[in-house]
Structures are given as structure tokens and as C-alpha cells.
Amino acid sequence: MSAAFGVGGATISTPGIRALGASAFVAVGTTLPSILPSAISGTLRYMREGLVDWQVVKWAAPVGVATSILGSLLSHIVPGNGHWLMIATALLLGATAWLAMSGAYLPMLRFYRCPILLVPLLPAIALFYTAATVGSAIQFWRGRGGRWKGRYQAAASS
């Protein structure tokens, strides 16, 4: 439940609050009371365990504060009642995930001595194969088996 409504819960709760008719500003602000206590308790726990890298904190905290202030100021300047900023945030998160996936594939490309220029394509290839597998499974559940090159795999016998 913490993933849904506490740590990282804005992914679900913010659009849900928007669907109930609240403005973008209210939807984003409403999730803070549930996120803040869990963030504080998590930070304290990591500090007790000695798992906080203070060199990273010294670099990341000022950047986080500056971008938070910038986002707050932009929310009053950019038209669309916050919608464009929410879309920009989603695109930024998507690009960050794409870069993280690409970085995870880099050692495999090096191992197989493939060109590094393939790195950005690998998440798209993984997405394609996931979609193809899900599509094949749906066709199989419909009793048509997997179709490939105009041929069908035999349906499961009951």
C-alpha cells in the first residue's frame, strides 16, 4: 500500500484526484501529507543504518530545491492550469527511465562487442517483444494459437 499512497504514491493518487475533478494544483498538493511522513521516516532509517552518501546529498539537495522552486514559479507562468507542467514531468520521468534502461543494457552490448549506438534502441526492442508476447498469449487464450507468417500454432487442447 505504501507504493500506492505513500512512497511514490503520486503516480496513482494524483491522477485519481484529478479524475474526481480537482485542479492540478490541488491534486499535487493533496498527496504531500501522505508522502512527507514516509520520506522522513525512510531517511531517518537509512541514516541510522549508515546508508546515506552525504557527498551525493550535497550535490542532489541543492539541485532538487532549485528545480522545485523553478517548477513552482513556472506553474504560475505556463498556461494550461498546470497541465503542461504535468505532461513535462511525465516526459522527464519517461526519459529518465529510458536512460536507466539503456544504461542497464550497456554491459551486455560491451560483452557481445556490439556498437554502443544500439543502446537507445534496446528498450524499444524490449517493449516490442513484450507486446508481441502479450499479443501471442491473447491469441492463444482465444483458441487461435499463435499466428506467424500466416500460420497458426495449434490451440491448447482442453
Of 1, 9, 70, 62, the closest CA to residue 34 belongs to 9
Rounded Cα gap, residues 29 and 68, in angstroms: 13
Output the pTM of the full model.
Answer: 0.51
pLDDT digits over 9-59, tens only? 667 778 888 889 888 778 877 877 777 788 888 889 999 999 999 999 999
pLDDT: is 6 or 140 the higher one? 140
Rounded Cα gap, residues 61 and 78, in angstroms: 25
Compute φ and ψ for 152, nearest 5 degrees: -115, 140
Q: Quickly state the pLDDT bin for 112 (edges 50, 70, 90).
A: very high
> Would you list the domain boundaries of the chain?
1-52, 55-148
The share of the chain scoring above pLDDT 70, in percent, equals 87
Residue 105 in contact with residue 114, Cβ under 8 Å?
no
User: Which cell numbers hold the place of 136?
Assistant: 501471442
Q: Quickly state the pLDDT bin for 149 (edges 50, 70, 90).
A: confident
The pLDDT score that the predictor gives to residue 5 is 46
Rounded Cα gap, residues 97 and 117, in angstroms: 18
The pLDDT score that the predictor gives to residue 9 is 62
Compute φ and ψ for 147, nearest 5 degrees: -100, 135
